[in-house]
Structure 1
Amino acid sequence: MKAPSTKIEPPRLGEPYLLTPGPLTTSFAVKEAMLRDWGSWDDDFRAMTQDMRTRLLSLLGDGADDFDCVPMQGSGSFAVEAMLGTFIPKDGKALVLANGAYGLRSAKTMEYLGREHVVLDKGDYLPPRGQEVAQILADDSAITHVVAIHCETSSGILNPVEEISEATYAAGRKLLVDSMSAFGAIPLEVSKVRYEAMVSSANKCIEGVPGFGFVIARKSELEASKGNCHSLSLDVHAQWDNMEKTGQWRFTPPTHVVAAFLEALRGHEAEGGVAGRGARYTNNRDVMVAGMRDLGFETLLKDRWLSPIIVTFFCPADPNFEFSRFYGLMKDRGFIIYPGKLTVVDSFRVGCIGQMDAEVMRQVVTAAKETLAEMGVASAAPPAAALEERAKLAA
């Protein structure tokens, strides 16, 4: 098999760049890997599954021997529900840390599961902090687990999982991490950040395509979780147990997606692993944010909390700005951006991940400049009320 290339390739056949938090722009090699059919019970595919699990565990650093990787069919939200339903027992209670749509989705999932929980909702602008977690845990001895979002992509906040972990384990509780949009580019080494399980997806920072997520968990937690799950198909313990015994997925696996993901993992390794991937994404963010600010756009967040995954910008106050038209004109120029997901102000998001580099991000800024001119937008500055709200909530 040919060695993967670390060169960033332009999209093929006139495809636009996907400036989203996944699905994202993938390499041609990843796409090409899906051109072969695989038998789901065949030894070759079982070997592919094991190779994938081993490669993902290697991203944990020292201490990975205490963990195992369990791929789960479906979207990232399927995998999050699988993690919550498997590792939080029916008589447990979770503290869900929310500062955007995905923390709130975990809370909604807990409602559907019928699991007791409380929510620390920090709104759109600020991360949950370790001191807050410590106080809540001190006040409520019934809480058994803390659920944290690593990167909240509705706002772009990179949450401080290290201090959240320290507060959780100092109180004798357990941490579950939704690292959906961060794993593979932001370190989550088990020797530095303690947690029982984390979840991510094929179509995020590893740069594969949609079709499955994966749960990485302590083997001791996997062993203890038998019988917890509310669902047949989302039972992480049952999937793990079957894979350990047979090497097979319990139900039809996304064979082509696994093949593509293995190619993506090879490309990830060739780029320098987590450090190399994270460095490119960080440079993408810095180049793009600087250029957009030069045009007059304002970021939702202070620099301290900007993730290298996706950045949220306020929509301009200029009456000629209409997001749907801005979106369409950016797409005409080869860039698909992402709508905002804030509850307080109008916004949009620009992703930094996928097969893109700093030169592509400079092209994004140029496209935004040209689009504003075509729309007749004289200023990209946001409404004064948006800045006042940011200042008030971030104080």
Structure 2
Amino acid sequence: MTVRPAASETGDPLLLTPGPLTTSKAVKEVMVHDWGSRDQAFIDINQAVRDGVVKVAGGERTHTCVPMQGSGTFSVEAMITSFVPRDGKVLILVNGAYGKRAGKICDYHARAYVTYETPEDTPPSVEEIGRLLDEDKEITHVFAVHCETTSGILNPIKAIADMVQAKGRRLLVDSMSAFGALPIDAKSVHYDALAASSNKCLEGIPGMGFVVCRLSALAETEGNANALTLDLFDQWKSMEANKQWRFTPPIHVIVSLDQAIKEFFAEGGVEGRGGRYANNCRVLVEGMRDLGFETLLPDDLQAPIIITFHKPADANFHFETFYNMLAERGYLIYPGKLTVADSFRIGCIGRLHESHMQGAVDAVREVLREMGVSNCAPARAAE
């Protein structure tokens, strides 16, 4: 049986990636109109988005949402450079590309930092974090990635937050690929700031990030930023004064995110969205393992966001061919970016359901047959 090309409800290929993602028809359709950035109708939508994000975070009355133009990295950079004073020092937890990127941000902005690095398939030890904080009293902040999409690993963010709070330090979280799908309730996970994006688990489109900020901590950040456009304090004070952006807002992104947040709550919030993704992950992993593929991570470390698979050692397997043949069938996946293993990645977030994941597995089966790949075990297991 030949697998027919897959498509979203609007006829587009399915994006099995960590973002940008497949979005709903309604999220796309709301963007076909124009709004004035100073008009009350848009101002109300912008406020609804800010309030909705805070509700997702569980931070009503204690936190606020400060949106920023650009990709998620813009918001991470704004978070680090606004919350870490110029004489501060950051402990960066690294087990993938996004922890390393935080170090690069600190380099650019002359923020002192040290790193605690573990392999890409290994979460940080909470006890080691405590030891490092005890040894270096100059550390003021800890930066942690919630779900590191380099591998798909879920880091123990609640335990990290508890340790950082116990040691009297401040936590900054990159929850880019997890926010909205994995629990990180502000009432139980103590952080100063958390950065995320419109185009991940909230299922909006790219172009806007945001930082969920503890109000008491944000109030202390005036003067920290050394970039006008990335100054979260200034952005916050301006929005609180007149509900408007300091500079031209990404209007269509904001309007589509408003629609996406409505759909998020209609699905059941974090529990509903995360439950669908977890089922997508189960179907994908079980199907790929049945074909002989091996996952990089054990199930207890795997977040239901994006799955890293070892490349087969079979001489007939060529990733570019594999990718292109899946794309012809309507499934767009991601190459790997690991140093610990030769791999590729398949995402299970966005407007995807069980039937889409089963269709992807069926397409992989057909592509392998056409490529003449008979053994999907990686090199270490194939020897």
TM-superposed CA distance for 1:220, in Å, is 1.3
Aligned to 2:18: 21
Structure 1 CA distance, aligned partners of 2:7 and 2:370? 25
SS of equivalent to 1:143: coil
CA deviation vs aligned residue, 1:47-70 (integer Å, no higher than 9, x gap) = 111111111111123x53111111
Structure 2 CA distance, aligned partners of 1:23 and 1:157? 19
Which of 36, 39, 42 is the aligned partner of 2:39?
42
Q: Counterparts of 1:1-395 in structure 2 under 5 Å? A: 11-12=8-9, 14-61=11-58, 63-384=59-380
Aligned to 1:3: none
Structure 2 CA distance, aligned partners of 1:344 and 1:92? 32
Contact 2:158 2:184 in 1 (8 A): no
Structure 1 CA distance, aligned partners of 2:11 and 2:199? 21
CA deviation vs aligned residue, 1:295-349 (integer Å, no higher than 9, x gap) = 0000000111000110000100001111111000010111000010101321100
CA deviation vs aligned residue, 1:255-311 (integer Å, no higher than 9, x gap) = 011110001001001000111000000000011000000000000001110001100
Contact 2:94 2:115 in 1 (8 A): yes
Q: TM-score, structure 1 length as denominator?
A: 0.94
Structure 2 CA distance, aligned partners of 1:113 and 1:128? 25
Structure 2 CA distance, aligned partners of 1:74 and 1:117? 25
- How well do the aligned residues superpose, as a CA RMSD in angstroms? 1.3
Q: In the comparison of the two structures, how many residue pairs are matched? A: 378
Amino acid at match of 1:158: L
Amino acid at match of 1:78: F
Q: TM-score, structure 2 length as denominator?
A: 0.97
TM-superposed CA distance for 1:10, in Å, is 5.1
Contact 1:129 1:163 in 2 (8 A): no
The sequence identity of aligned pairs, in percent, is: 53
TM-superposed CA distance for 1:13, in Å, is 5.4
Contact 2:10 2:25 in 1 (8 A): no
Amino acid at match of 2:241: K
Contact 2:7 2:330 in 1 (8 A): no
CA deviation vs aligned residue, 1:29-49 (integer Å, no higher than 9, x gap) = 000010000111111111111
- Which sections of structure 1, spanning at least 5 residues, go unmatched? 1-8, 389-395
Structure 1 CA distance, aligned partners of 2:103 and 2:128? 18
Contact 1:311 1:351 in 2 (8 A): yes
Aligned to 2:3: none
Contact 1:130 1:166 in 2 (8 A): no
Structure 2 CA distance, aligned partners of 1:18 and 1:110? 32
Amino acid at match of 1:55: G
Amino acid at match of 1:219: L
Contact 1:185 1:274 in 2 (8 A): yes
CA deviation vs aligned residue, 1:117-166 (integer Å, no higher than 9, x gap) = 00111121101121111011011010000000000001000110011111
Structure 2 CA distance, aligned partners of 1:10 and 1:370? 17
SS of equivalent to 2:190: coil
Structure 2 CA distance, aligned partners of 1:49 and 1:175? 27
Structure 1 CA distance, aligned partners of 2:8 and 2:299? 30
Runs of 4+ in 1 over 6 A off after TM superposition: none
Structure 2 CA distance, aligned partners of 1:57 and 1:10? 33
Contact 1:316 1:383 in 2 (8 A): yes
Structure 2 CA distance, aligned partners of 1:191 and 1:74? 28
Structure 2 CA distance, aligned partners of 1:60 and 1:376? 48
Amino acid at match of 1:18: L
